[in-house]
Structure 1
């Protein structure tokens, strides 16, 4: 199938490139306008008590969120002037602390995007009154601008480094430019896919960073694999070389792409719009990468032919038995020792994850110099008895609000409770407290408030802290199902690719080890704050729970990318020789440099994003960097050869019924091409 596809693209290369050019122009014009359609929320869980509280309050009482907080260095705020601003529906005067006060502004708009537009329209006029601006709208605006800045900086950092590394890997400017071209197409494709998704669902602003990392990283990986194989095959005529490249590297790209997409699809099991938008956006990006690598790239190779080696800056001579062959042979001479040592290292790295502490995101995800963050910090420090994120108790059918409000005032940890809205049978009570809204102590307070039922009617406890508590419960209940989907799907795909049930089990166990090591390092760095000054973030003592889940889906898929590429070459050699030890050594020799190069290129991409000013984007960047580094070195170079040597022929074992299933439905060519001779 893939060989036939390669021959088709070779014959129709100019048509393929013409269609691709039209699509690229469309994506460049339309897709890059995605930034104005994204949201910074999406962490709430529909159907939970906190979500029901928000829905009832919005329906019966109207919104009571602090959209904008205007902080003044004077004892009074220009309330009348603020009320006269367009798009402002209400203004509340805050208390005085020393020579400071603040005002809370509520903005018109049914959606977050509409309120954001209202804020942007009056932002300069608010600043002109002498205010420093905070609140949800200001934080969202700061995040939007930071994300856009981060992407521009990451691309400016990574692209020149990627080009230099690709030239060093290939020794040719022409060959080096091809993966970058596919990477540029992938970025435009990811923007276009995200904008299409905004018409059917909320899409998180943070998905831009994630899809850009995925799009650029995978595109360069796939481009590297395909171009390297094509150059190996060029001892034959160009048309045959392209057909064989698609039959081998093209098949690997397809299997890898489907595996990564299926891994990302597990995010759709979660009801949070944040994770679902990451799942949809990530899957769309992987599909764009895969299609570009299987259509545009072979068409470009067909046009170039032997000229893919043009503009040579150094000669790269492949070797049958180079450093990677010697490394694999050395490892396989002492497999037990290497398995024990690497396993102990990975387990030790993962131990800090056993003491992970979950928490939410607040203004501290922003850079320390961001005005919206500074305003929030001033409120916590100088107005300790005031909170702009109260626990909201929405009660239906409450006969005596005063008595119930008084009961809530006496709950341990509550500083005050007051009725902030009443209409018909619905009452809203704001419960204030000292400290930080998303802390474990405030989550405990939410539970105590929930244990105080009203004398009549029914109470729904909401607010930011209650949303976090409900989010933790929701994530915990669905995480086992996510793990099941990822494991089963990975097992099935790897079985269909290699006809073995042992290799998928081994690959899954190794991924679990490398992921646990990465998660342990993340806790040590970001929760404990050991590298906070070096990396430039504020440690909160917690990890936002959506981040490890997102990283699990992304990194599990990326790890399988390298696994599939390595095992594909090992399987080719095994089909020729029937010798597992020799096949592993030769497979690692043929792929070790490419896998290391691909990992290094992906590290450059994610490393550039680890410079983000948004803390949890930085967390994802650092986490992916560590995971790729661990996977490409300890796992692929040491643990895989050692375990395959220990297992021997068992690596390729499957029960007879499954062997028949593989013979009928396996993802393979009818006649596997002979591997290229160096």
Structure 2
């Protein structure tokens, strides 16, 4: 691999403008595809084969009028009842205006249907469309927004709910841009050069642009979710900057040692570029591995992220060398002033830290492991689910509507269960449904069971069951299972039941995915480091990172501690697919740091044969870069913590916490401590296994040997 990347680097330096123009053409082409032919981005997280999904599919077939998109208008009055003449007229006029929309199938009259709270201070009206929620047009949404302005002007508080998204998720907003700005500051401090600091940002933006436009275009053929696009942006920016950082750092280090700029680019591409290829490959395989769990939206999300990472790798080993070739010697670090060379006392902090950890490996390892286990404790009571409107920001119309409905009708009203009753042996489906409704009423936690609604064929009946508790409450989950336990004639669906089934399916899939990740990590790291103990140590460290990160997430987002600090609007459940997603993403990133850090230790050990010194020297040579890379990812991921969407917020926090824990506590502290304890045995590999394993040569040893041959011949 090193030889191939060396030749690619040489070619990019010889023809930099041609390579740059090719990438500009690719960016322009994908931008055209992603803007002109952009596909629909949805919030659909259904899983075929679950009980709730099977019931929903039957519902769509037998009750098509009940499966269109719905916008719920929630009305409230602080002074008097909603049926006062002026308020009643304002509400009815707004609903009449909404009825003029040809896409509207039905608009309920809250005064005729009785959808008012007992004191008549809160009510709601459902607007049903003749198309699915994700296909409701912007014109229809604008008509709703215009109509509710009239009710608000009349003194009626009007909020929105339902399954139609009234606003698109913002990508690359102010917080994300600030994340990139902070990353730029870290690069300036690391390189002490604005030019060198700007290159990783520029190349990362090119990669993210191509990746995102490709994802938008592919939404015409696959169901792409909002969280999938955000994940692609997060990873594209973070790894794009980091991969360029590693290559540029190696390039500048070589130029500081006196190597010609053009030759240095090729060698940096061969050595650091090999590590980038491997690191990117681990992220790609981990993300693509999400398809193992056989959950469509998670598979597409992983593939979207993997595509963006693949493009980031390609940019790093082709476009970046071309730009470095054009920059020439201008990127060379300034020579230290006379009398200020690198003495022992002037060694970088990473070198001193490595020396400290190696000197006291046992206390350091004990403290770090104990700290991580303490942080992980809250993960023992983790509850999984999908955030609903109750998790939206407190000032959002969805959250206000959710709170009003809970106040007026009870918390369970925001999570109704839809029950489909199949015809029984009596031949009278309505009689069967009435009997089943009575059985359901006897179950704990049931507030209301609606009158039965038969289909046109007369063989199915629809019931709506309102629980006493909210959608993500444990008691609501038990009620779903209790209703299903009444017999095979009852099928439960609806948003709440679907979310419960998704969470349970993901729980079942997590051990399979986790096992696959462990096996993958062991194989890849054994190939790279030609060692058995290094992969085992890396896997155990990764396990500590995962459980500690999940513990921190549960502590804040489920238990509610420090909620104000992180602007968490509502605590209760953890995003159901977060453990699997976090495992896949963090595995790739953890292996990045493992490769960049430990590969330098192995390189030093190979050259000098002193295991403990190799740990210290490896930390000194790569610690600064790994620190910068970790900080960049923390700033990029951390910027998404300020998103309004609760799913994006928890994803941003978990990735930020994961990188913080893995990069600084595990890789930069625990890893050198364990490596110092293992000594030479860390690099043990049975001879028979060593002959079987291919030599991937990410340190570029083959390049050095090839370049040293002409020099040795000339000396002879």
Tell me whether the two structures share a fold, i.e. TM-score over 0.5: yes
Q: Which residue, out of 135, 143, 148, partners 2:161?
A: 135
SS of the residue 1:286 aligns to = helix
CA distance in 1, matches of 2:555, 2:706: 44
Q: Given the alignment of the two structures, is residue 91 of structure 1 paired with residue 107 of structure 2, yes or no?
A: yes
SS of the residue 2:136 aligns to = helix
In structure 2, the CA distance between the partners of 1:358 and 1:441, relative to structure 1 (3 Å rule), is: same
State how 1:203-282 maps to structure 2 within 5 Å. 203-234=224-255, 235-282=258-305
SS of the residue 2:252 aligns to = helix
Q: Given the alignment of the two structures, is residue 606 of structure 1 paired with residue 606 of structure 2, yes or no?
A: no
In structure 2, the CA distance between the partners of 1:269 and 1:137, relative to structure 1 (3 Å rule), is: same
CA distance in 1, matches of 2:172, 2:37: 13
SS of the residue 1:393 aligns to = strand
Where does residue 406 of structure 1 map in the other structure? 438
Instruction: Give deviations 1:342-391, integer Å, cap 9, x for gaps.
Output: 11111111111112222331103321111122112111111239835421
Where does residue 485 of structure 1 map in the other structure? 516
Q: Which residue, out of 29, 38, 42, partners 1:39?
A: 42
SS of the residue 1:415 aligns to = strand
Q: Given the alignment of the two structures, is residue 307 of structure 1 paired with residue 320 of structure 2, yes or no?
A: no
In structure 2, the CA distance between the partners of 1:99 and 1:324, relative to structure 1 (3 Å rule), is: closer
1:632 Cα deviation (Å)?
2.4
Q: Which residue, out of 7, 13, 16, partners 1:13?
A: 16
In structure 2, the CA distance between the partners of 1:586 and 1:212, relative to structure 1 (3 Å rule), is: same
CA distance in 1, matches of 2:101, 2:657: 49
Q: Which residue, out of 578, 581, 595, partners 1:550?
A: 581
Q: Given the alignment of the two structures, is residue 114 of structure 1 paired with residue 114 of structure 2, yes or no?
A: no
In structure 2, the CA distance between the partners of 1:385 and 1:283, relative to structure 1 (3 Å rule), is: closer
SS of the residue 2:116 aligns to = strand
Kindly indicate whether the alpha-carbon contact (under 8 Å) linking 2:416 and 2:464 is maintained by their aligned counterparts in 1: yes
1:14 Cα deviation (Å)?
1.9
State how 1:102-501 maps to structure 2 within 5 Å. 102-109=124-131, 111-115=132-136, 117=138, 119-130=140-151, 132-138=158-164, 140-142=165-167, 144=168, 147-148=169-170, 151-234=172-255, 235-309=258-332, 321-384=347-410, 387=413, 389-398=415-424, 399=429, 400=431, 401-417=433-449, 418-424=451-457, 425-453=459-487, 458-501=489-532
In structure 2, the CA distance between the partners of 1:121 and 1:494, relative to structure 1 (3 Å rule), is: same
SS of the residue 2:565 aligns to = helix
Name whichever of 541-550 and 441-450 sits farther off. 541-550
Q: TM-score, normalization: structure 1?
A: 0.92
Where does residue 26 of structure 1 map in the other structure? 29
SS of the residue 1:206 aligns to = helix
Instruction: Give deviations 1:495-517, integer Å, cap 9, x for gaps.
Output: 22222222111111101112211
SS of the residue 2:42 aligns to = coil
Name whichever of 474-483 and 665-674 sits farther off. 665-674
Q: Which residue, out of 645, 651, 660, partners 1:620?
A: 651
1:396 Cα deviation (Å)?
3.0
Q: TM-score, normalization: structure 2?
A: 0.88
Where does residue 590 of structure 2 map in the other structure? 559
SS of the residue 1:141 aligns to = coil
In structure 2, the CA distance between the partners of 1:589 and 1:270, relative to structure 1 (3 Å rule), is: same
Instruction: Give deviations 1:312-370, integer Å, cap 9, x for gaps.
Output: 99999877843322221221122222211211111111111112222331103321111
CA distance in 2, matches of 1:20, 1:359: 42
In structure 2, the CA distance between the partners of 1:385 and 1:558, relative to structure 1 (3 Å rule), is: closer
Instruction: Give deviations 1:146-182, integer Å, cap 9, x for gaps.
Output: x31x631123312332222211211111111110111
Aligned residues: 666
Instruction: Give deviations 1:236-284, integer Å, cap 9, x for gaps.
Output: 1222211210111000100000001111122222344432232011101
1:47 Cα deviation (Å)?
0.8
Q: Which stretches in structure 2 are left out of the alignment for 5+ residues?
A: 77-81, 153-157, 708-716
CA distance in 1, matches of 2:18, 2:252: 23
Name whichever of 244-253 and 617-626 sits farther off. 617-626
Q: Given the alignment of the two structures, is residue 574 of structure 1 paired with residue 605 of structure 2, yes or no?
A: yes
Name whichever of 290-299 and 338-347 sits farther off. 338-347
Q: Which residue, out of 685, 689, 699, partners 1:658?
A: 689
Where does residue 60 of structure 1 map in the other structure? 62
Instruction: Give deviations 1:115-145, integer Å, cap 9, x for gaps.
Output: 254642533343245273422345x223x2x
Kindly indicate whether the alpha-carbon contact (under 8 Å) linking 1:391 and 1:466 is maintained by their aligned counterparts in 2: yes
Where does residue 536 of structure 1 map in the other structure? 567
Q: Which of these two proteins has the greater Rg computed from alpha carbons?
A: 2
Name whichever of 539-548 and 346-355 sits farther off. 539-548
CA distance in 2, matches of 1:82, 1:178: 52
SS of the residue 1:532 aligns to = coil
Name whichever of 660-669 and 59-68 sits farther off. 660-669
In structure 2, the CA distance between the partners of 1:575 and 1:311, relative to structure 1 (3 Å rule), is: closer
CA distance in 2, matches of 1:221, 1:96: 56
In structure 2, the CA distance between the partners of 1:284 and 1:127, relative to structure 1 (3 Å rule), is: same
CA distance in 2, matches of 1:209, 1:48: 26
CA distance in 2, matches of 1:569, 1:658: 23
Name whichever of 97-106 and 599-608 sits farther off. 97-106
Kindly indicate whether the alpha-carbon contact (under 8 Å) linking 1:573 and 1:586 is maintained by their aligned counterparts in 2: yes
In structure 2, the CA distance between the partners of 1:304 and 1:468, relative to structure 1 (3 Å rule), is: same
Kindly indicate whether the alpha-carbon contact (under 8 Å) linking 1:379 and 1:386 is maintained by their aligned counterparts in 2: no
CA distance in 2, matches of 1:313, 1:319: 12
Q: Which stretches in structure 1 are left out of the alignment for 5+ residues?
A: none
SS of the residue 2:210 aligns to = helix
1:212 Cα deviation (Å)?
1.3
Kindly indicate whether the alpha-carbon contact (under 8 Å) linking 1:566 and 1:588 is maintained by their aligned counterparts in 2: yes
In structure 2, the CA distance between the partners of 1:385 and 1:669, relative to structure 1 (3 Å rule), is: closer
1:229 Cα deviation (Å)?
0.5
In structure 2, the CA distance between the partners of 1:421 and 1:157, relative to structure 1 (3 Å rule), is: farther
